[in-house]
């Protein structure tokens, strides 16, 4: 009963469409109709600006963190990594936004922040180093996904390896169009770094 409730709550938490809410509430626009059409943080930055983009990023990270901590807070036998993964699925396929969600980067980061804060910081540094040199947010996200797999293997926790590999697969798979644009040199670069 408790496990089922946490799974549902985790999915619903992940389903909260931060970018859509901020865009409609404060800008009167549906960000799915602008930029890349994605509900995630990158399109929020691109479409709504830096301040709104930061809010969406933090909100998306928080979804993953809170969902991951639910089993601990509620004294459940469900592994926190499973609850976090369910939230990421909710973020990608949100019931509150027609199952059209984000690319899983920030919410996956929130899962790791809850249980592996040092790993989260290493990945954050890796993201910004890659972003500094490449100017591609998408490439930085993909590099972070690969780095996360390597880091989890070094830690040697089997469930962490499986979950991180799953989250990394989500991230890379949902960036497949970006990968094609990078190869074709048509992927937009950031201009603020």
13: its two tokens: 């938490």
Give me the helices (H) in the chain, please: 2-15, 18-22, 41-48, 50-73, 80-92, 105-115, 117-134, 137-155, 158-174, 176-183
pLDDT in tens, 53-92: 999 999 999 999 999 999 999 999 999 999 999 999 999 9
Q: Is residue 44 within 8 Å of 57, Cβ to Cβ?
A: yes
- Which pLDDT value is given to residue 165? 98
pLDDT in tens, 110-124: 999 999 999 999 999
Distances (CA, A) of 89 to 39, 60, 183: 14, 12, 28
If 0-12 CB within 10 Å is exposed, 13-18 middle and 19+ buried, where does residue 34 land? middle
H or E element at residue 25: none
**Mean pLDDT on 15-30:** 94
Confidence check: pLDDT of 193 > 90: no
DSSP labels, 69-81: HHHHHTT-SS-HH
If 0-12 CB within 10 Å is exposed, 13-18 middle and 19+ buried, where does residue 1 land? exposed
Confidence of residue 3 (pLDDT cuts 50, 70, 90): very high
pLDDT in tens, 129-174: 999 999 999 999 999 999 999 999 999 999 999 999 999 999 999 9
Confidence of residue 35 (pLDDT cuts 50, 70, 90): confident
């Amino acid at each position: 009963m408790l496990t089922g409730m946490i799974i549902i709550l985790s999915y619903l938490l992940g389903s909260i469409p931060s970018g859509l809410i901020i865009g409609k509430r404060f800008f009167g626009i549906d960000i799915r109709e602008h930029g890349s059409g994605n509900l995630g943080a990158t399109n929020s930055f691109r479409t709504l600006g830096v301040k709104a983009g930061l809010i969406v990023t933090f909100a998306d990270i928080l979804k993953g963190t809170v969902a991951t901590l639910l089993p601990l807070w509620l004294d459940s036998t469900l592994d926190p990594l499973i609850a976090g993964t369910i939230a990421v699925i909710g973020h990608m396929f949100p019931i509150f936004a027609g199952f059209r969600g984000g690319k899983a980067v920030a919410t996956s980061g929130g899962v790791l922040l809850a249980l592996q804060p040092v790993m989260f910081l290493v990945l954050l540094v890796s993201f910004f180093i890659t972003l500094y040199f490449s100017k591609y947010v998408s490439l930085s996200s993909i590099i972070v996904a690969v780095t996360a797999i390597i880091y989890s293997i070094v830690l040697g926790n089997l469930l962490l390896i499986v979950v991180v590999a799953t989250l990394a697969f989500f991230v890379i798979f949902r960036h497949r169009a970006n990968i094609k644009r990078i190869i074709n040199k048509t992927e937009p670069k950031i201009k603020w770094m």
